[in-house]
Structure 1
Amino acid sequence: MKFTFIAGSNRQGATSTKLCEYLQHLLEERGHSVDLIDLYQHPVPFYSPGESYSGHEGLARLGTSAKEAEGLILASPEYHGGMSGVLKNALDHLSQEHFSGKPVLSISSAGGAVGVSSLGQMQAIVRNLHGINSPEWISIGGSQRRRFEDYLDESEAGSFHDLEERIARVLESFVKLTGLIHRPYGE
């Protein structure tokens, strides 16, 4: 299956982006195709209704990748109880043609315990674009973020086994949902 990730941070090496890279690795290990769109590396212009953005490479890639995907994963850091403006701006450029009938997994990274507010906002946008929200989500926060940060000491790596198991379980559930939705009718 083909998945598109939209990593909505405007910071190089963001924890939410590194979490996407980890999920990408897990999916590719299982033979799935993944296009990770890192909005830090590939920014899109500020959305303005009525503006023509034809010819903008970042928007063309975002739109094409979202259309071609069988499942979408949205990732955001949680800022002041909400998703990043960078991700919201990118989603404003997309429409029902990119989301309708597609499963979407929302993930967040928060400085506190979890990023529930940003997850709720992402899921509201998915509903408005006629996407199908995964019943599960992934939110990491506090000390869990260290698993995805560059300065993780190798001696700490084993202490994140429960987190990695939870992430793998949620991802597997999302892959199954995507497969069920894209199965031809009657199979």
Structure 2
Amino acid sequence: MKIVIISGSNREGASTTLLSAYVGQVLTEKGAEVTLVDLYKQPVPLYSPDPSVVEDENLVHMKQAVMEADGIILATPEYHGAMSGVLKNALDHMDAQYVDGKVVLSMSSAGGAVGVSSLQQLQTVVRNLHGVNCPEWISIGGAGRTFNEQGEPETLQIRERILRTVTYFLSMTETFRKSV
């Protein structure tokens, strides 16, 4: 099963990217083929509806990874109660052909306790792209955004929550993949 993770932070060493990498490890251990699109290392140009705009290498890579994926994970920091601008910009480059009928898991890393506003916004965008929102989501905040040297969340409770959610997401993705 192919899963793409789009990490929507534009800061080196961001907890959003650490979370994305950890979830990628968990997915790989469960047998998934994972592509991580790190928008800090692979930025995409500002979206323009002008059809004459030439797509750059990072944008082509991201769109191809999403097109080929069976399931999608979107990860964002929460800035002022919203998803990051870089993730929203990346999603603006896509239309329904990329996401239609695919299960999408939303994740947030917030400075406060949880990042619910950004997760709700992500789910709205996913619905508009005809994706299927996973009813579970992952939100880490405050001290829960600390990772150890092995790249794992330091808190056992967060690792267990991630494992449960990723297992549910994979099961749901497998079910939807078989039905299309």
Fold in common (TM above 0.5): yes
Q: Deviations over 1:62-100 (max 9, x none)?
A: 110000000000000000000000000000001101100
The answer (yes or no) to whether the contact 2:105–2:137 under 8 Å persists in 1 is yes
Aligned twin of 2:132: 132
1:49 deviates by 1.1
CA RMSD of superposed structures (Å) = 1.8
Equivalenced residues, count? 179
Counting aligned pairs with the same residue, the percent is 52
Q: Which has the larger radius of gyration?
A: 1
Task: Give, as a single letter, the amino acid of the residue that structure 2 aligns with 1:163.
Answer: I
Aligned twin of 1:177: 172
Aligned twin of 2:86: 86
CA distance in 1 between counterparts of 2:3 and 2:163 reads 16
1:106 deviates by 0.2
Task: Give, as a single letter, the amino acid of the residue that structure 2 aligns with 1:109.
Answer: S
1:104 equivalent to 2:104? Answer: yes
1:53 deviates by 3.8
- TM-score by length of structure 1 reads 0.91
CA distance in 2 between counterparts of 1:113 and 1:176 reads 28
Aligned twin of 2:70: 70
Give unpaired runs (5+ residues) of structure 1: none
Give unpaired runs (5+ residues) of structure 2: none
CA distance in 2 between counterparts of 1:52 and 1:139 reads 38
CA distance in 2 between counterparts of 1:58 and 1:109 reads 24
- TM-score by length of structure 2 reads 0.94
